[in-house]
Amino acid sequence: MALDALFKPFEFKSLKLPNRVVMAPMTRSFSPGGVATDDVAAYYARRAAAQVGLIVTEGTGVARDASLNDANIPRFHGEKELAAWKKVVDEVHAVGGLIAPQLWHVGSAKGKDVLGKIDSPSGVSKAGGAPFTEPMTDAEIADTIAAFATAAADAKRLGFDAIELHGAHGYLIDQFFWNGTNLRGDAYGGPGIAERSAFAAEILKAVRAAVGPDYPVIIRLSQWKQQDYAVKNAETPQLLEAWLQPLADAGADIFHCSQRRFWEPEFEGSDLNFAGWTKKLTGAPTITVGSVGLSGEFIAAFGGEGSQPASIDGLLERLDRGEFDLVGVGRALLQDPEWVVKIRDGREDELQSFSREALGVLY
């Protein structure tokens, strides 16, 4: 039956997952001073114990002053910070789980804190916006690339099973992809998406050199931005290939393809979603994500909209026919750590509705 596809093991390089469920990264501002707490470790271990195949952590900042815009989001550099992440890894592994950190730089995306000089490709935070900071220099770009590589090496050293780069949602890497925020005329900019992929490709090359050939490297991408939900980096399959192929060539193993609603087709004339097109064009494994198991999409949740449990039959049909390889589950797992085992055991009547209050607690 189609449900079997969700619980089939997945292997790629050194990554050996018991099933196809990935806990999607979700920002959790519960790390005072940027140091993950015992409660954070327990939060991830609870879901690992309940059969999540792979946990991708909340975004965690690389070693640039303004990589984060909230002082309570965890950092991925510094002795205390990395020791805290080691505890997270050990607790997840102790219950048989697998885990990858999401390495993050917010760039010029606004937040509640300003933690240093803001990094930005062109000094703007959205298309048509007024410049409010200086564009990154070549030296700052090189330092940022090195910071991602160092973080990746630290992740491998700490025992993480893979890493994910956050290249989506209008944050720094995506700001280089987007022609609305990348107005550069040098090697990191240009009129085409292939040229604007150079920054991400250089990060991937540096990360690959730091972790070796067999360590899994995931990159999360999106067409939509927090600054503009309708914008696309690639309006056609041809442009999508021009965007993705340099990333695959540079060392990306798995593409985590973020949509607000996974069931929406990416281009006219095909039912394939973003992850489906990405797999078709690159041949690489893909993760689909976007309102899996819930009736409402996540942006609306921040405005207070709740979501009810929703059928995953359509998702399972797509997975079974190989449109994508893995399934990212976000809010459903945030609300209910046992979502996976309830699905596996046919206990749909026990699935929980999602409410905004879940965003404000850690359990």
Instruction: Render pLDDT for 37-46 as a digit per residue (tens, 0 to 9).
Output: 999 999 999 9
The confidence score (pLDDT) of residue 281 equals 98
pLDDT of res. 298? 64
Mean pLDDT of 214-229: 97
For the chain, the farthest-separated pair of C-alpha atoms sits apart, in whole angstroms, at 56
* Bridge partner residues of 15 (DSSP): 12
Q: Binning pLDDT at 50, 70 and 90, where does residue 107 land?
A: very high
In percent, the amount of the chain with pLDDT more than 70 equals 98
pLDDT at 1 over 60: no
Are the C-beta atoms of 329 and 344 separated by less than 8 Å? no
E strands, 137-253, where?
163-169, 217-225
How confident is residue 296, by pLDDT bands cut at 50, 70 and 90?
A: confident
What is the tens place of the pLDDT at every residue in 111-158? 888 888 999 999 999 999 999 999 999 999 999 999 999 999 999 999
pLDDT for 299: 67
Does the structure show a pLDDT above 70 at 300? Answer: no
For 246-288, the pLDDT digits (tens) are 999 999 999 999 999 999 999 999 999 999 999 999 999 999 9
Mean pLDDT over 336-342 rounds to 98
> Which pLDDT score, from 0 to 100, does residue 302 have?
59
Q: Which two tokens stand for residue 286?
A: 């893909």
Could you count the other beta carbons within 10 Å of the beta carbon of residue 156? Answer: 15
Q: Which residues pair with 103 in a beta bridge?
A: 60, 165
Mean pLDDT score, 167-177: 98
Listed in order, strand segments (DSSP E) in 137-236 are 163-169, 217-225
The pLDDT tens digits of the residues spanning 182-211 come to 999 999 999 999 999 999 999 999 999 999
pLDDT reading at 304 higher than 70: no
Question: What pLDDT, on a 0 to 100 scale, did the predictor assign at position 248?
Answer: 98
Whole-angstrom Cα distance, residue 350 to residue 338? Answer: 10
337, 50 Cβ separation under 8 angstroms: yes
Q: What is the pLDDT of residue 337?
A: 97
| pLDDT value of position 116 | 85
Nearest in space to 216 (alpha carbons), one of 207, 224, 206? 207
In DSSP terms, 326 is beta-bridged to 287
pLDDT at 202: 98
What is the CB neighbour count within 10 angstroms for residue 83? 12
